[in-house]
Amino acid sequence: MKLDTSEHLLALSRIESNARKRLRLLAISHFIEGKNRSEIALILKVSRRSVNTWVSNYLSDGVAGLEAKKAPGRSCPLSTKQREQLSDYIDKHSRSSKGGRLTGEAIRLHIANEYQIEYHPNAIYKLLHLLGFSWITSRSKHPKQSQEAQDEFKKTAN
C-alpha cells in the first residue's frame, strides 16, 4: 500500500469539512513527518490512545481508515414505517381545527396503544427531534374565537 505524503494529508485536511476527520489527517501528517505518537497527542491535545488508533487504522486501510464509523447505540424501537405513520399522526392532530394540542404524554400513549411499545417520557422528545419536529407549542385558540370580534373590541374606547 502506498502511503501518502505529509503535504498531501495537510492539503486534504484543509479541504475536509468534518472537524474530527481533519484532526485525524493532521495526526497522520505529523506521524509521517516522524513525530512519535506521544508528541502528536500533545500537539493536538488528544489522548495517545486516540492517536494510536488513528495511526493503526491508517496503516491498515489508508485514508479510508480515518473515516468516522457508525456510532454504537440502541436502534429505534419503531420501524421506519411506524415512524412515518407516527409522523403523519402528529401532523394530522397538531393541525386540528378544534384548537387542541398534542402533548408528549399523548404521543407516548398513542405509541403504546398503536404499536405496543413503551417509551420513557424523555425519549418521546428525542423521537420527535428524530422525526424532524421541534417541541414548540403555539398559542392555543378557542374554537369559537372570532377575529372580527377582536378587531371590534380594539376599536372601542376604554
What's the rounded mean pLDDT across residues 99-122? 88
Residue 158 has pLDDT above 90, yes or no: no
* Whether residue 103 sits in one domain with residue 56: no
Domain end (from 66, 89, 116): 66
pLDDT given for residue 102 in this prediction: 81
Mean pLDDT (the chain, rounded): 88
Count of domains for the chain: 2
Position 66 pLDDT exceeds 70: yes
Segment 127-150, tens digit of pLDDT: 999 999 877 666 777 778 888 888
Name every residue whose Cβ is closer than 8 Å to that of residue 38 and which is 6 or more positions away in sequence. 48
Number of neighbouring beta carbons within 10 Å of residue 127: 20
What is the percent of the chain where pLDDT is above 90?
Answer: 59
Q: Could you tell me if residue 37 is inside a domain?
A: yes
Q: Tell me the three cell numbers of residue 13.
A: 485536511
Amino acid identity, residue 76? C
**94 and 125 both lie in a single domain:** yes
Which is more confident, 68 or 15?
Answer: 15
Number of C-alpha atoms within 13 angstroms, CB side, residue 91? 8
The domain in which residue 124 lies consists of 80-130
Work out the percent of the chain whose per-residue pLDDT is above 70: 91
Quick one: pLDDT at residue 104?
Answer: 87
Q: Is residue 44 part of a domain?
A: yes
Residue 84 contacts residue 91 (beta carbons within 8 Å) = no
Q: What is the pLDDT of residues 25-45, one digit of tens each?
A: 999 999 999 999 999 999 999
Q: How far apart are CA 49 and CA 32, in angstroms?
A: 18
With respect to residue 138, please indicate whether it lies within any of the assigned structural domains. Answer: no
75 falls within a domain: no
Is 58 within the bounds of a domain? yes
Tell me, yes or no, whether 20 and 55 share the same domain: yes
The Cα-based distances of 85 to 81, 90, 115 in angstroms read: 6, 9, 11
Residue 72 lies in a domain: no
- Indicate whether this model's pTM tops 0.85: no
Cα–Cα distance measured from residue 73 to residue 123, given in angstroms and rounded to the nearest whole number: 14
Residue 144 lies in a domain: no
